[in-house]
Every structure is written in structure tokens, then in C-alpha cells.
Amino acid sequence: MKHALRLITCLFFLLGITACSTVQTTSSGAIGIQRKQYMMVSEQEVENGAIESYQKELAAAEKKKALNVDEQQVTRVRKIANNLIPQTTAFRADAKNWKWEVNVQKTDELNAYCMPGGKIMVYSGIIEKLKLTDDELAAIVGHEIAHALREHTRERVSRAYAEQLGLSVLAIVTGAGNEAMKMASTITQVTFGLPHNREQETESDRIGLELMARAGYNPSAAVTLWQKMSQVTGNAGSDFLSTHPSSTNRISDLQANLPKVMPLYDATKQ
């Protein structure tokens, strides 16, 4: 009883001191992202959890002999990611010190993600089934990098805390079990199971657009990417769309924002 009371007190204490943390994850860029974010977990906790979660994904892929099997494809994805990564400083200076990793998993699934701290994975299915051009692939990777820059996973973990979704999340708050392990499993759940909300999607679309423009990739390819996505996936859905819900105005929002980033793209061609 005493133990339970202490746990409950601890829970409220933790919630109390962390509930109102407002953070500025990125500067607004040419594209102008301003939204305030509220976090209930630290950046460090989330990054540590992501390292562990990503390691597990790599190990599982390795076990299936599905990690970085197509050398040409890996080289292509890494080249594009490595052109985009230096552009992240337009949004946050610390990102250049992140321990970025870029890998490709062989699978028919359509998916890609960038876990907190710059842990990128692109599934071969999305490249092959959508027959992505370099510019379109840059749009996908740029969109994923933008989620990491804006710390959308930290935000989603925070939201899960607030809504007390999932026992493992509650377990972290109450301090039960190995906290780092629980955070890693929460990151995995969030990465593969919890959709981004519409605001997060819009932010990542816009920041992704600017990243690709700055890296010299034609930002209008973001539009053709989403057109292909809707053609190929139709109503069947995909893992990518389940965590990156599309909306009817996504393409028009991208088109409306193109004029803001075209000068950045043009500048790379001079």
C-alpha cells in the first residue's frame, strides 16, 4: 500500500514538473514554421530510446538478410541523404552533430522513417514500387528528416503520456522496469503504429520541401511523389500512409509553398 502510494505520488510529481515544458525545436526557415510544442519527456531520453529501437530494427533486418543488400540502391539513398543532412542547419544548428545513420531495408512494404537523432531507414519497396526519381526520393527522405528536426516523435511520446496510451508508457512514468528499454519499445510503437497528426505532416512536408530545394533537388518532385503514392496505394493503404496520413489538401499545400523555396533551388543551379 505504502509502495503504491509512493508510485502514485511519484507519477503526479513527474507529470507536474514535466507537463508544461514548451520547446523551440527548430527555427522557422524560409518556409516559416512557427508552432509551439509541448513536451513531457526530455530530448535525451527520446534519443537514447531511438538508438536502441533503431539498433533492434537493424539487427532484425540483418537476421533476415534484408539489410543493405542492394549496394547500388544503398549508395543512391546515402548520397541523397548526405546531400540533405547539411541543409538541416537552416532549421537547427545542433543537427550537424547528430550521429546520422542511413540504411536501406529490403522489403516489399512501402515505408521510410527517420528516428529521433537522425536514424534513417528507407524500405526498398517504396523506391521500387513508386519508381522514385532522385528528386522524389529526396522528397521522402527530406520529409522524414523534418519529422526528426521537429522532434515529432518526442511530441507523440508526450501525447501518449498525456493520454496514458499503452502500459509501457505508463510504466516509464511510474519507473517500473528498465526505463531505457521501455522508452525504446515506446519509440518502436510510436514509429510504426502511431500516426502523425495533420499539423506534423504539414510541417514535415514544408520543411522537407525547403531541405530538398537547398540540396539542389527539384522541390516540385514532392508533388509528383504524392501523386504516385495515391495512385499506387489507392484505398489499400500502406505502412507509410498509416503513419503519415495523407489529406486531400496535401498536394495543394505543397504547390502553394513551392514559390517560397524555388529561389533556394534556383540558387543551387547557378
User: What x/- string results for residues 79 through 98 when contact with Zn ion is judged by CB under 5 A?
Assistant: --------------------
φ/ψ of 178, rounded to 5, equals -75, 110
Between CA 181 and CA 190, with CA 187 as vertex, the angle to 5 degrees is 145
Contact between 186 and Zn ion by CB under 5 A: the answer reads no
DSSP helix/strand/coil, 206: helix
Rank residues 54 and 226 by Cβ distance to Zn ion and give the closer one.
226
Q: Which is nearer to Zn ion, 33 or 172 (CB)?
A: 33
CB of 267: closest distance to Zn ion in angstroms? 27
DSSP class of residue 103 equals E
Residues 6+ apart with CB under 8 A from 171: 177, 182
What's the CA gap between 215 and 47, in Å, rounded? 26
229 contacts 251 by C-beta, under 8 angstroms: no
Nearer residue to Zn ion within complex by CB, 102 or 173: 102
Task: State which residue, 204 or 238, has the beta carbon closest to Zn ion.
Answer: 204
Q: How many CA atoms lie within 13 A of 197 on its CB side?
A: 8
In the complex, what is the shortest distance from the CB of residue 20 to Zn ion, in angstroms, rounded to a whole number? 27
Binding segment for Zn ion among 80-88, 97-105, 125-133, 193-201 (CB under 5 A)? 193-201
Contact between residue 129 and residue 110 where contact means Cβ atoms under 8 Å apart: yes
Q: Is 144 a catalytic residue?
A: yes
Query: For residues 233 and 246, is the Cβ–Cβ distance under 8 A?
Result: no
**How many residues lie near Zn ion (CB under 5 A)?**
4
Residues 215, 83 contacting (CB under 8 angstroms): yes
| Residue number, nearest CB to Zn ion | 244
Separation in Å, CA 262 to CA 36, 92, 132, 265: 27, 21, 21, 5
Minimal distance, residue 75 CB to Zn ion, in Å: 25
**Binding string, residues 230-249; x marks residues near Zn ion by CB under 5 A:** --------------x-----
Q: How far is the CB of 71 from Zn ion (least distance, A)?
A: 28
Contact residue for Zn ion among 68, 204, 218, 257 (CB under 5 A): 204
Nearest to 172 by CA among 14, 6, 3, 62: 14
Residue closer to Zn ion (CB basis): 119 or 196: 196
Choice among 45, 57, 144, 201 that is catalytic: 144
Nearer to Zn ion, 182 or 244 (CB): 244
Residue 236 CB, shortest distance to Zn ion, in Å, is 19
Which stretches of the chain bind Zn ion, using CB under 5 A?
196, 201, 204, 244
Could you list the active site residues?
A: 144
